[in-house]
Amino acid sequence: MQNATEAKAQAIQKMFSEIAPRYDLLNRILSAGVDRVWRVAAVKAALEKNPGRILDLATGTGDIALLLKKVAPQAEVIGGDFAPPMLELARQKAQKAGLSIPFVEADALKLPFPDQHFDAVTIAFGFRNFADYPRALAELYRVITPGGRLCILEFPPPPKSGLGVLYRFYFTRILPLIGGLISGSASAYRYLPESVERFPDPSTLANMMSKAGFSTRYQLFTGGITALHTGDKPVLTSPSLITRSGEFHSGKQP
């Protein structure tokens, strides 16, 4: 029998697989193109320490992974997601762009990578969909090298004043209509505002990351509509304790 966490994960996986063909178009339309500005900020934060190996988790159709590889071609970039249709689109985009990026199936609650494998991990608008936040953070902490960085770009609950009032109206009333018409899945775009309202506020997420072991800070964009959380994993004092495995395992290769 499935537990609640597994049931939630499978429902979300099915939903994102269904909307994959229209996912990029909808992102551009529904954010008026502003999502690209937010993604650039996340990539800049992720590359600040010149990481050699980077995981873009919940990569979707690969927007962040492709941007990481374009900006830092010397870095090894891997994209992971649990929705195969999204991964297939990501592979097509990478091939068209002439970029070598492995895209693999990956469950955030049980990542198919060894300990201390990545110097940086990025997650853009995907963390909110994880079925168990503390468990996901523990997994992320496990696969990041000492001194490595986690960057989470996400929609927090909209502010209750200023731009947040207008955005909440748009998010709850307009977005489901447009998203449903274009994608053919109104339920997916009803889920989006509902999941945002249930998501922890920025300070709560920062505390969760700190409890997982990260040194955390965050910044808000566009009047608090989005938040970028940056968490650094502490550096071990004894070099003999620092190990890094060179291989990862996955049920599906690019």
Query: Is 81 labelled a binding residue?
Result: yes
- CB 121 within 8 Å of CB 53: no
**Among residues 84, 88, 76, which one has the least CA distance to residue 113?**
76
Query: Is 131 labelled a binding residue?
Result: no
Query: Is 41 labelled a binding residue?
Result: no
How do 103-105 and 76-81 pair as beta strands? parallel
Query: Is 186 labelled a binding residue?
Result: no
Cα gap 78→87, rounded to integer Å: 11
Mark the binding-site residues for S-adenosyl-L-methionine, compressed into ranges. 61, 81, 107-108
Mark the binding-site residues, compressed into ranges. 61, 81, 107-108
